[in-house]
């Protein structure tokens, strides 16, 4: 089968590697246009596009639906496979390839339809998630399903580690799924029972609450600590919280928001006990251990975060 792979994230790389070593032919890839970063606003490719460029495979970055349609008509493929592409595809483009568009979605649909299924699975403290390979239609992750499977969420999983695991699982299965489609397999209509959504995460959702309990706060850091970032306010400045650990140390009657430091550790009191702040990013500085931050900040007894 002649295929185009559309992705804008590193999770597309294991799938691409699997396809390139199969009997299917990847004619080209599709990715989001380069984005401007930093003070200089230099435009840089995303991780997927950068990798594709390094291995010498064509990568196209249409800026709108019309450019995408022109590409599909000028350089036709039998199927477009997407994984974390990040664009809505209009009807004309959806029907351009003979087998349409296939999407790899990191949840067991119809649960967590949307852009951030892994983040919501971790934030809501699920112990299982999964992957669904389905036919794209005009809806938001509503198309019929070719294959779905479950995958465990470890207590230590972050969004990054879980995405990596699910993408590697997808890479192991995708060739077999494509073979079945080529041999006439038909998808099954998606259920409307148990629908939930996982929309894109805005930056303000990274604000942590000192009134959460330990598991809620820990889950939120695991889900959002890497992107868009989780944070508290300390002395009127942003304090990024990149890694935490649930602690069972004695909180000695501290009040929610209070920081408790010793020579080796820094703790935050929340409603039901202590969270150890393992890695933090003070405003305008680099990531450091919570203990190093506490030593530099000279936290006074009873001093609090908000």
Residue ranges of domains in the chain, CATH in brackets:
2-182 (3.40.50.170), 203-297 (3.10.25.10)
Model pLDDT for residues 127-136, shown as the tens digit of each residue:
999 999 999 9
Q: Note whether 45 and 31 are within 8 A (CB).
A: yes
Is a pLDDT exceeding 90 seen at residue 43? no
DSSP β-ladder status, 145-152 and 101-105: unpaired
Output the pTM of the full model: 0.94
Residues 6+ apart with CB under 8 A from 41: none
pLDDT at 40: 67
- What would the 3-class secondary structure string for the chain be? CEEEEECCCCCHHHHHHHHHCCCCEEEEEECCCCEEECCCCEEECCHHHHHHHHHCCCEECCCCHHHHHHHHHHCCCCEEEECCCCCCCCHHHHCCCCCCEEEEECCCCCCCECCCHHHHHHHCCCCEEEEEEEECCCCCCCCCEEEEEEEECCCCCCHHHHHHHHHHHHHHHHHHHHHHHHCCCCCECCCCCCCCECCCCCHHHHECCCCCCHHHHHHHHHHHCCCCCCEEEECCEEEEEEEEEEECCCCCCCCCCEEEECCCCEEEEECCEEEEEEEEEECCCCCEEHHHHHHHHCCCCCCECC
d(CA 59, CA 64): 15
In total, the chain counts a number of residues equal to 306
Is a pLDDT exceeding 70 seen at residue 48? yes
Q: Note whether 274 and 249 are within 8 A (CB).
A: yes
pLDDT at 250: 82
Model pLDDT for residues 271-304, shown as the tens digit of each residue:
999 999 999 999 999 999 999 999 999 999 899 9
pLDDT class of 30 with cuts at 50, 70, 90: very high
pLDDT class of 39 with cuts at 50, 70, 90: low
pLDDT class of 35 with cuts at 50, 70, 90: confident
Model pLDDT for residues 89-104, shown as the tens digit of each residue:
999 999 999 999 999 9
d(CA 293, CA 306): 17
């Amino acid at each position: 089968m002649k295929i185009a792979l559309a992705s804008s994230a590193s999770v597309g790389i294991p799938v691409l590697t699997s396809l390139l070593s199969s009997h299917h032919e990847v004619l080209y890839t599709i990715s989001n246009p380069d984005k401007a970063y930093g003070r200089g606003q230099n435009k840089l490719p995303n991780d997927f596009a950068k990798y594709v460029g390094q291995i010498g495979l064509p990568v196209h970055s249409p800026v709108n639906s019309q450019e995408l349609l022109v590409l599909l008509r000028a350089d036709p493929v039998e199927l477009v496979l997407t994984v974390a592409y990040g664009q809505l595809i209009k009807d004309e483009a959806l029907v351009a390839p003979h087998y349409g568009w296939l999407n790899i979605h990191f949840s067991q649909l119809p649960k967590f339809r949307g852009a951030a299924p892994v983040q919501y699975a971790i934030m809501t403290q699920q112990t299982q998630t999964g992957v669904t390979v389905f036919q794209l239609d005009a809806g938001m992750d509503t198309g019929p399903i070719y294959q779905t499977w479950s995958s465990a969420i470890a207590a230590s999983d972050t969004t990054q580690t879980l995405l990596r695991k699910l993408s590697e699982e997808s890479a192991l299965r995708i060739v077999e799924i494509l073979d079945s489609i080529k041999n006439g397999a038909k998808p099954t209509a998606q259920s409307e029972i148990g629908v939930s959504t996982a929309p894109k995460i805005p930056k303000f959702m990274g604000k942590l609450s000192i009134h959460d309990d330990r598991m809620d706060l820990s889950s939120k850091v695991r889900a959002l600590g890497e992107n868009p970032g989780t944070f508290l306010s300390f002395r009127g400045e942003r304090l990024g919280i990149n890694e935490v650990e649930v602690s069972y140390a004695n909180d000695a009657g501290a009040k929610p928001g209070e920081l408790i430091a010793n020579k080796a550790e820094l703790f935050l009191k929340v409603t039901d006990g202590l969270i150890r702040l393992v890695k933090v990013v003070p405003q305008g500085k680099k990531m450091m251990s919570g203990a190093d931050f506490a030593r530099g900040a000279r936290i006074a007894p009873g001093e609090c975060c908000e």
